[in-house]
Structure 1
């Protein structure tokens, strides 16, 4: 069974179909213009480390970006200094420790990889007791009743406070009382739990401005003080969000060379040389022929999807796909159908239906069928069942689009996403999308795939001809962090048996090998493919530190996931997911949990709570976001805090065997390897 007849060849006046462009050999691209040499300013990572010899001889030391003293203190306030004065070695040491925790124990490592001998586990959704659901619905009912009652009374007796909801002086009201009810009566009351202003890098710890409200969060009053908290609320999976270290030094050097705007050194067509280097590096990293970089992750989906499909095409989307995917699908003009979240049976039933029925009314065959899924879902922490989708793709001949915004860098033994995790060739997927904000400490997004597809998107996708390019400092962060994950080799060798070195002029061609051969992903990037002025510390350059980061992230994810399970909480997500949602259900418990975590002594914890409309009405949750910068002791702090609050707030409704907190902390390694 197929999707129907192939699309008709476009007329001379129409744009070519990006999926149907005839595959050809990779065209020789013009060589990247590497920036000329510049006198070094001497900002090496070792300057920040000073003369601290703190790494045990039994453990390979991390570079300055992760090497800190062996002090067991989770938080350290000593980095509250004037940023305009020179930093002492002690202040630098404490700052680095706050940004990336030191962990020498190699037992606290794990490899993120699927066991091919076991089937892909289906998502298990635990239901709470009925009294929890009853009280949750009752809470919302009380909010609605008393909220509307206050609106009714207020409009009569306190008109000055409700002018935005009432006609005034011949003008219509600014807001509808019904449409704005949720924002005014529920979200506004817990606004102190959202959009917290910070005063530091969002690394292992975070510095939060203290504030309070005297009018139910209509306004916030700042006390002028800050609180340092353990940060489990930021997307910083590999810990590259740092102000010190090799990547930060590279960004600083790029600012000196290119400035801070998008108008750096340009080549023909208005493309910065760093932009072209970054695109070639991304293609090499994910294992595709070519890649296209956008300056904004949301815009990557919302502008590229309309260039892939149009009227007469069908988009089949997971019901929990991100808003950027939904926006792009609506703008495309294609027909959109959704299947149950990560349910492969639901997807196959839907495929059979749409293929057999064809387009509505006319029942003609679909021009294209595009299935869009995410590698890792940000609200549930669930992972796509990629092997099953690939099996369905071979059977039903649809095109596959995988959004790896949260999975790239965070999954797989080499940090290359779900294809790496399941050991599936990237050539099996037509379009790979990802962002640089989660694992790489940068900004923007990318689309990777076959070169004819990417060439077409450069012309037809709005993010190509109409959007601005990435700033040189952002592109440098992408290049430095991604190169450190891959490792840098001194010699450029062809991926063949001849091992013939190539000149710098053909770097771009080699960086985009044909995926038709399904060769293994290259282990390292040649030094000649990077900017000539870029110099990474040895432990970043050889990839050893990134390897440690990937394994630390895998251990932290599995440890928190398993620990919360053993404590008795209801949680969602895959054990290897760095996103761990803990279900709270009741809307009143949600702000209480966040506020109490923020007030914990001696170690406050910054968390993010999520509720409707980002989640279903009765599944409010706290969403822990883990990082390689966290230590095992940091996860212990989170588990102990959750254990205490879980008992206090009646949150432990999960099934299965329960362990006391001390047993979880003591048997952490055994627990991680048992799931």
Structure 2
């Protein structure tokens, strides 16, 4: 590992006494300009929680009995069996194998569905059948056409015929589909420099750099910014890439409750007062790591309050805008734009191009010193092949549309359409009596279903009726919080939203999942336009 980076985040000057001068970051006038913050997290009904636990208990008991009967040859093996190859260790361990056999594999047709078209507002899904209880699949030959409410195509730029297609095709013919080298090994083309400069201008930072993979943007760069002797304070619901990057860094990690500013401040205070738990010396750096929009909860980070605490306790801030860049804010510049805060109050602005831009890869924006340091030391910069030129061109084209530099108002219209779609869709679901999580402006809309059988049943039922959705359950969520996750897009019009809502309403009645105890007056103010 490298020594303390001289050109990344400067060491924080904490004192062992813990006395830090408080700083009033935002004036009262500025605070009044922030959007009203409405988020909903209705508690799981007690009866449904009990039934959910009973469902998993029943699964374990019945599965264990069947395993025992099969061991003695008294029962037919109807679950998939992992092939036993001589000289090879099993792929799955005992409990993992048990859960995979009796839960995941039995409903695998609800996950990893192969698409047969572009990921636009409407897509085609290939129907699959399994001859061996979910171990392998064959195609039935039937394509199911459905409304796409499962892709991260927030601004609709991943449609089958996107507005940037001609320019991307031209760059493909001129520069090919691969670069064949990293940025430090003759892989940095003029189009990459153009993208980096345009991205920095879009974000409002001194500099920016792009990476070919979004996951690696987090996991490979966090270890460059903090090392042993530093402290990372991470939101408990942060993405796996942030968690992996934090663990690879060698820094100490503390987790605060999701979006809980009191808990975050409590951890910051303790970190300042007590210092490193072994040496009792001050931390070299304290890095707060949060996301803009949380993709499982649909919640938005309380960014102004996080910045307030960051400045008050002389810490640093790493903001992952994977699901918020392009999708939030009047100009589509993410959660920073949404709250109208200064982007330079955030030390590291990270995001991905896989959602709103209809492309691939990620970026990091910040000061020139930080970006220059990452260019020299980031593993993603040294070892990974540079982003393909056609992908870079797609991002450049989308950026210019969002920024209005294409001479049209198309970007502004798409951003406004996504905001309207998000609020309309959420309000209608709540009026149906469904439990919905998250912020009113989040394009990610989780709907709680709870019971595992109803999660898979819902997924199959709506697909047959022409609606494609993503369902998520344990262990990706807590046992009592299995859900359907809708992703809104600017490509959805009111007609497609209403059709989806009709399918959801009828399916929710069929499966009896309208658990909400809220009344219309409880959330009426939430959907009043600003």
Q: TM-score, normalised by structure 2?
A: 0.90
CA drift of 1:125 comes to 2.1
Q: Which residue of 1 aligns with 2:10?
A: 20
Question: Is 2:50 the counterpart of 1:134?
Answer: yes
2:499 equivalent among 609, 613, 637 = 637
Residue 186 in structure 1 maps to residue 176 in structure 2: no
2:133 is the counterpart of 1:216 = yes
RMSD: 2.7
Aligned to 1:618: 480
What does residue 227 of structure 1 align with?
Answer: 144
| Distance (Å, rounded) in 1 between the aligned partners of 2:256 and 2:416 | 33
Residue by residue over 1:224-257, the C-alpha shift from the partner in whole angstroms, topping out at 9 and shown as x without a partner, is 1212100000000000002324301111111111
What is the match of residue 463 of structure 2? 598
- The residue that corresponds to 1:514 in the other structure is none
> In the alignment, what sits opposite 2:515?
653
* Contact 1:258–1:265 (8 Å) recurs in 2: no
Partners of 1:166 and 1:172 within 8 A in 2 = no
- Rounded Cα–Cα distance in structure 2 between residues aligned with 1:121 and 1:360: 36
Contact 1:442 1:477 in 2 (8 A): yes
How far apart are 1:217 and its partner, in Å? Answer: 2.4
Q: Rg larger in 1 or in 2?
A: 1
Q: Deviations over 1:31-65 (max 9, x none)?
A: xxxxxxxxxxxxxxxxxxxxxxxxxxxxxxxxxxx
Contact in 2 for aligned 1:302/1:328 (Cα 8 Å): yes
Query: How far does the alpha carbon of each residue in 1:274-315 deviate from its partner, in whole angstroms, 9 at most, with x for none?
Result: 111111111111100111111000000000000000000000
Equivalent in 411, 434, 448 of residue 546 of structure 1:
411
- Determine which of 105, 115, 137 is the counterpart of 1:198: 115
1:152-551 aligned within 5 A: 152-157=68-73, 173-263=90-180, 269-488=186-405, 541-551=406-416
Q: CA deviation at 1:159?
A: 9.6
- CA distance in 2 between partners of 1:557 and 1:468 (Å): 37
Residue aligning to 2:25: none
Measure, in 2, the Cα distance between the counterparts of 1:260 and 1:606: 31
Deviation per residue, 1:347-385 (Å, 9 max, x gap): 011111111111012111000000000000000000000
State the SS of the aligned residue for 2:164.
helix
Q: What's the CA shift string for 1:478-518, capped at 9, x where partnerless?
A: 11111111122xxxxxxxxxxxxxxxxxxxxxxxxxxxxxx
Helix, strand or coil for the counterpart of 2:327? coil
Shift of 1:162: 9.1
> Hey, what does 1:68 align to over in structure 2?
none
* Distance (Å, rounded) in 2 between the aligned partners of 1:599 and 1:167: 36
226-235 or 635-644: bigger deviation? 635-644
Quick one: distance in 2 between partners of 1:172 and 1:198?
33
> Which residue of structure 2 aligns with residue 107 of structure 1?
none
SS in structure 2 of the partner of residue 618 of structure 1: helix
Return the alpha-carbon distance in structure 1 between the equivalents of residues 87 and 282 of structure 2: 54
- How big is the shift at 1:444? 0.1
CA distance in 1, matches of 2:489, 2:411: 13
Residue 568 of structure 1: SS of its match in structure 2?
Answer: coil
Structure 1: gaps (5+ residues)? 1-10, 22-113, 489-540, 660-667
Indicate if the aligned counterparts of 1:165 and 1:176 stay in contact, CA closer than 8 A: no
The equivalent residue for 2:443 is 578
The Cα of 1:673 is off from its aligned counterpart by 3.6
Alpha-carbon distance in structure 2 between the residues aligned to 1:121 and 1:139: 36
- What's the offset of the Cα at 1:639? 1.5
Q: Is the 8 A contact 2:184 2:381 kept in 1?
A: no
Aligned 8 A contact 2:289 2:319 in 1: yes
Pair 1:558–1:154, CA change in 2 (3 A): same
Tell me, in whole angstroms, the C-alpha distance in 2 between the residues paired with 1:480 and 1:638: 31
Contact 2:438–2:445 (Cα < 8 Å) also in 1: yes
Specify the alignment match of 1:555 in structure 2.
Answer: 420
Deviation at 1:214, TM superposition (A): 4.7
The CA distance in 1 between the partners of 2:445 and 2:91, in whole Å, is 39
For 2:4 and 2:52, how far apart are their aligned partners in 1? 54
Q: Is the 8 A contact 1:260 1:473 kept in 2?
A: yes
With over 3 angstroms needed to count, the CA separation of the structure-2 counterparts of 1:283 and 1:152, relative to structure 1, is same
Q: Which piece of structure 1 moves more, 645-654 or 225-234?
A: 645-654
CA contact (8 A) 1:558 1:575 kept: yes
- 1:216, distance to aligned residue in structure 2 (A): 3.1
CA 242–265 in structure 1, closer or farther in 2 if over 3 Å, else same:
farther
Give the secondary-structure state (helix, strand or coil) at the position aligned to 2:95: coil
* Distance (whole Å) between structure 1 residues aligned to residue 438 and residue 285 of structure 2: 32
Contact 2:105 2:135 in 1 (8 A): yes
Gaps of 5+ in 2: 12-29
The two structures have a TM-score, normalised by structure 1, of 0.71
CA distance in 1, matches of 2:477, 2:113: 20
- Using a 3 Å threshold, how does the CA distance of structure 1 residues 17 and 164 change in structure 2: closer, same or farther? farther
CA contact (8 A) 1:567 1:658 kept: no
